[in-house]
């Protein structure tokens, strides 16, 4: 049976700026200078108009959970289990994945969350349910 690689993903290429921003506590996405389309993940050109001209915009880090899953068996060895992966639609209109910190409210879909940049978390991007300021 083949061994599963449990190391963290390698960060490279177009996503470098995103990961560097996260490590500095900033949540960013691309903004097309031609048509105004906001996009994430980072791409070389706009999927709406094809333009290569873009800028970087900083998110306020607030949004709503639109989907989630509970992971019982982590694929990356640094995660503790179980944990929730959440898909969050940020208030700026782009969607990002992160790890939920704190207590998962029920139902989780539709709950407001705030981005958290916990350097002790195995994921550089986490979301905390709005109002759970002391989550760990
Ligand atoms: Zn565009």
DSSP character string of 28-76: EEEEETTT--EESS--SS-TTT----EEEEE--SEEEEEEEEEESS-SS
Say how many Å lie between the CA of residue 27 and the centre of ligand 1: 21
The gap between the terminal CA atoms of the chain, to the nearest Å, is 36
Ranges of residues in the chain whose predicted pLDDT is under 70: 1-12, 80, 119, 122, 133-136
Same structural domain, 52 and 87: no
Say how many Å lie between the CA of residue 28 and the centre of ligand 1: 17
pLDDT for position 4: 56
State pTM to two decimals. Answer: 0.82
Same structural domain, 131 and 83: yes
Same structural domain, 75 and 98: yes
Say how many Å lie between the CA of residue 44 and the centre of ligand 1: 11
Say how many Å lie between the CA of residue 37 and the centre of ligand 1: 5
Same structural domain, 49 and 23: yes
Model confidence over 64-103: pLDDT tens digits? 999 999 988 877 777 767 889 999 999 999 999 999 988 8
* Residue 84 structural domain: 61-136
Same structural domain, 52 and 80: no
Asked whether the beta carbons of 47 and 39 are under 8 A apart, the reply is yes
Residue appearing with tokens 């709950």: 111
pLDDT for position 136: 42
Walk across the sheet containing 38-39 and list its strands. Answer: 38-39, 28-32, 54-58
Same structural domain, 100 and 126: yes
């Amino acid at each position: 049976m083949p061994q599963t690689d449990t190391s963290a993903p390698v960060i490279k290429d177009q996503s470098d700026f995103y990961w560097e921003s996260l490590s500095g506590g900033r949540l960013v996405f691309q903004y097309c200078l031609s048509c105004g389309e906001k996009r994430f993940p980072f791409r070389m050109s706009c999927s709406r108009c094809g333009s290569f001209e873009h800028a970087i915009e900083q998110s306020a880090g607030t949004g709503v959970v639109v989907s989630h899953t509970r992971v019982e068996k982590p694929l990356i060895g640094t995660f503790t289990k179980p944990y929730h992966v959440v898909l969050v639609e940020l208030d700026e209109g782009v969607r990002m994945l992160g790890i939920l910190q704190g207590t998962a409210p029920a139902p989780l879909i539709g709950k407001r969350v705030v981005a958290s940049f916990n350097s002790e978390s195995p994921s550089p991007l986490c979301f905390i349910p709005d109002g759970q300021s002391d989550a760990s």
